[in-house]
Amino acid sequence: MDGMSEDLLGYNEMVETAMRSVVRQALERAAKGGLPGNHHFYITFRTEHPDVLIPDRLREQYPEEMTIVLQHQFWGLIADDEGFDVELSFNKIHEHLRIPYDSLITFADPSVNFGLQFHVEMEDAPSRESPPAASDEKGPDMSADAGAGDDETADAAEPAKEGEGDNVVTLDAFRKK
């Protein structure tokens, strides 16, 4: 830590908890009254997280991470203390997903250039040297699952664009190297 004092209060954990609370409140509001105006959510999460519940075929297609979009076509959105449940359409098949907040990698609402980036610690998971860059390779595959030109399912699996939005909050920006 280059002579810096150790953070015994756990500020990083507090900030992560606060950011997850923002996601929860946004999801709770969307669950109650739908998404107002042009608001929509891009949510990227670790599919390898032990508490993520998604169909096996999606886990096979996205073994590390997956981005979902909550915009027009989603059902049964419920947010609780640990995570959220939602039903999305993949190739016209409704699938139930359970996503815990501590599996989140990013949460963004591009309509207002708002974004949060989380520091995900995965035990037993192989660490990758360049996390966000690796998702660029997967971009085209994600939208392929939604069915080309199929408006009904396009919301479910669009890839999020890197650097989209001016207000992405990441803890690394504040960390001393």
Please state the three-class secondary structure of the chain as a single string. CCCCCCCCCCHHHHHHHHHHHHHHHHHHHHHHHCCCCCCCEEEEEECCCCCCECCHHHHHHCCCEEEEEECCCEEEEEECCCEEEEEEEECCEEEEEEEEHHHEEEEEEHHHCEEEECCCCCCCCCCCCCHHHHHHHHHHHHHHHCCCCCCCCHHHHCCCCCCCCCEEEEHHHCCCC
Question: In this predicted structure, what is the pLDDT of residue 141?
Answer: 35
Domains and CATH numbers, the chain: 11-173 (2.30.30.220)
Chunked in runs of 10, what are the mean pLDDT values of the chain (177 residues)?
76 93 96 93 96 95 95 94 95 94 96 92 46 36 34 40 46 47
